[in-house]
Amino acid sequence: MFEIVAEKGRARAGVVRVGNITLETPAFLPVATKACIKTITPFEAKEAGCKAIIVNALHIYRRVYDIVCRIGLHNFMKWDGIIFTDSGGFQSIKKFPAFVDEEGVIFKMPDGKEEIFTPEKSMEVQRNIGSDFFFALDDCPSYPYGKERVKKAVERTIKWAERCQGERCFAILQGGVYEDLRRYCIEKILPMNFFGFAIGGLCIGEPKEEMHKIVDITTKILPKEKPRHLMGVGSPEDIIECVNKGIDIFDSAFPTRNARHGTIFTSKGKINLGKKKVKGDVIDEECSCYTCKNFSLDYLNYLFKEKEPLGMRLATIHNLYFINDLMRKLREEIVEG
């Protein structure tokens, strides 16, 4: 169930409730592709304010399917929050032994054997590993693309969506930067039985204005009463803008990847760590994360200079806290009008 508790313009504050699960929105999901948020423990993620994460089902299937089926993904990685799982469709745009055809996503197992994620297989795997929320299998063409390729992807995504429907599943909407294809995809998928709708195929290289235009169009058409997920968006500015357009849930590797490369978000803007000119005691005066409470900017900067892995981890904790805190503030603003 998804309930909207407050609105401000097009922005919404909501609650996702399924069984014991409660997720206040707007919410951000860090990426834990391989059942691990890179460099940090699940306990640290929780302390940094994370309530839900997104794991790649295809990766789990290829690497540790047996054991995860047996004990469940939550137990395997010791995460007691909410788990969303990616369907495997996204793999089509990654360097990975995978490609897409009419049947589904074809990939190689570590032993070289070819296998296929059909829509049904992707759902089965996501269910078997104990995910809380699934994504439908989609075809996500890599950028730059031609309109013909995107059109084919939309047709496939619609056909596959039909076979993925379910009460815990988000449909994925494709259509690239093409308004007509986006509208067509939405029109076909809207009547289907999904928990919510995810905007896919953005933030993969297209100009930022195009991304915002498509989010704008899409959120205007989507039904109010269902949660809206935007895939791949994770910068503070983009999140703020997209919350104001009516997005409820985000997932992205942006905050964690930036952290590992030494870029942290602060209340006064970005800091690029590992540089001589970065100096000071306090990392971010307004932040109460584990890193800011315990370490100085000088030390964190030094760790990056020296390429000490501890630096990546402390920066990851900080960036996740920063983004989660941003989500909390955005929600507060909406609730308070």
Q: How distant, in Å, are the alpha carbons of 40, 188, 196, 230 from that of 247?
A: 27, 20, 11, 7
Task: Show the tokens assigned to 204.
Answer: 């993969």
Cα separation, 77 vs 100, in Å, equals 29
Rounded least distance, CB 272 to a copy of itself, Å: 18
Q: Has 86 been annotated as catalytic? A: yes
Residues with Cβ within 8 Å of residue 312, at least 6 apart in sequence: 38, 39, 259, 260, 262
Rounded least distance, CB 35 to a copy of itself, Å: 8
Cα separation, 218 vs 173, in Å, equals 9
Q: Does 63 bind a copy of itself (CB under 8 A)?
A: yes
Supply the DSSP string of 252-294, one letter for each residue.
ESHHHHHHHTTEEEETTEEEE-S-TT---S-S-TT--SHHHHH
Cα separation, 258 vs 255, in Å, equals 5
Binding residue (CB under 8 A) for a copy of itself from 6, 18, 64, 190: 64
Q: Does 79 bind a copy of itself (CB under 8 A)?
A: no
Interacting stretch for a copy of itself, rule CB under 8 A, among 4-12, 14-22, 70-78, 133-141?
70-78
**Which residues between 290 and 329 bind a copy of itself (CB under 8 A)?**
294-296, 298-299, 302-303, 305-306, 308-310, 312-314
Q: Give the residue carrying structure tokens 């307004």.
A: 286
Q: Which of the residues 132, 138, 251, 325 is marked catalytic?
A: 251
Question: Closer to a copy of itself at the Cβ: 95 or 207?
Answer: 95
Q: How many positions of this chain bind a copy of itself (CB under 8 A)? A: 29
Nearest to 102, CA basis, from 92, 113, 112, 87 = 92
Interface mask toward a copy of itself for 10-49; x: CB under 8 A: ------------------------xxx-xxxx-x------
Question: Closer to a copy of itself at the Cβ: 39 or 235?
Answer: 39
Q: Has 101 been annotated as catalytic? A: no
Question: Closer to a copy of itself at the Cβ: 202 or 312?
Answer: 312
Strand partners, 31: 54
160 close to 139: Cβ distance less than 8 angstroms:
yes
Active-site residue list: 86, 251
Name the site residues for a copy of itself (rule: CB under 8 A): 34-36, 38-41, 43, 63-64, 67, 76-78, 294-296, 298-299, 302-303, 305-306, 308-310, 312-314
